[in-house]
Amino acid sequence: MEDHDKGLAHDLDTLGRRRVLLGSAGLAATALLSAWGCGGASNGDSASDSSSSSGSSGSSGSSGSSGTCAVSAEETQGPYPADGSNTIGGTVSNALALTGIVRSDITTSFGNMSGTAGGVPVSLELTLVNVNGSCATLDGYAIYVWHCSREGVYSLYGATDQNWLRGVQPTDTSGVATFTTIFPGCYSGRMPHIHIEVYRSETTATSYTNKLKTTQLAFPTDVCTTVYATAPGYSASVTNFEQISFATDNVFSDGTSTEMATVTGNVTDGYTVALQLGISA
């Protein structure tokens, strides 16, 4: 297992005061309130095994518009990004430079590593929109995602012989990047989350120096409660999840209006997790 206390300390040191930028400066105050008001987390929801929703859903079509949108909150990439910004044992860790990182199914390791991360199946759908262009969807960009396993471990760090649960996908003509993954566990000190970096294209998604946005995806509490209580392999998450909340999380404590995913499905069949990402393009 990785040293999560170290990871949390790193986050606290590097997070600082994140600044959430709203959309076009010309938007009226009522439009701003609407953008922030859409999809706030309902953390008091009871557990459900059928569906749960929160956050903004993505628009469809390369020139589509959702009406209102906001720039996604800028976040720390955390201590385990493997995007070239940090080292492991004195060696730069950059999964983005590896052949095979551009893939939709991120449940398995690739290249010279092999292994599969078990867990409740998730279809992750990220829709990228331009807040400076009437929330039009953006095609041809690239999105890098990574997250911990159901045991709360990150590949290349805690699991040094694996590189699963990391991958890059381009946005399609509807501005959507889709990944096949698993529901992440809850490790000590953090609410369950997925890390996200946005790049202008596949060709630039090779190093953190080219990224346009770093943010994180949050999960509704009722879905997390259901998964951790009923799905095999998540036993460690039960206690960890009981000891953390959005109010005490060092990343999400100032709000999740642009980061709370819409989640539908169930433990048996898996979940669809969707989030709209806003950037100033």
Q: What does the pLDDT look like over 41-52, one tens digit per residue?
A: 333 333 333 444
Q: What is the pLDDT of residues 48-102, one digit of tens each?
A: 334 444 433 333 334 454 468 999 999 999 999 999 999 998 999 999 999 999 9
Q: What is the pLDDT of residues 21-39, one digit of tens each?
A: 333 333 333 333 333 333 3
Across the chain, mean pLDDT equals 83
H/E run at residue 255: none
d(CA 270, CA 225): 15
Look at residue 92 in the predicted model and tell me its pLDDT. Answer: 96
pLDDT over 90 for what percent of the chain? 75
Is pLDDT of 151 > 70?
A: yes
Look at residue 67 in the predicted model and tell me its pLDDT. Answer: 64
Structural domain for 60, as ranges: 4-279
3-state secondary structure of 72: coil
Look at residue 68 in the predicted model and tell me its pLDDT. Answer: 85
| Average confidence (pLDDT) over 254-279 | 98
pLDDT band at 2 (very low <50, low <70, confident <90, very high): very low
Supply the CATH number for residue 221's domain.
Answer: 2.60.130.10
Look at residue 205 in the predicted model and tell me its pLDDT. Answer: 98
d(CA 9, CA 19): 20
pLDDT band at 12 (very low <50, low <70, confident <90, very high): very low
Residue 147 phi/psi, 5-degree rounding, is -160, 170
Asked if residue 262 lies in contact with residue 275, where contact means CB atoms within 8 angstroms, the answer is: yes
Q: How many separate domains does the chain show? A: 1
Q: What is the pLDDT of residues 126-135, one digit of tens each?
A: 999 999 999 9
Residue 116 phi/psi, 5-degree rounding, is -130, 135
State the DSSP code for 97: G
Look at residue 52 in the predicted model and tell me its pLDDT. Answer: 44
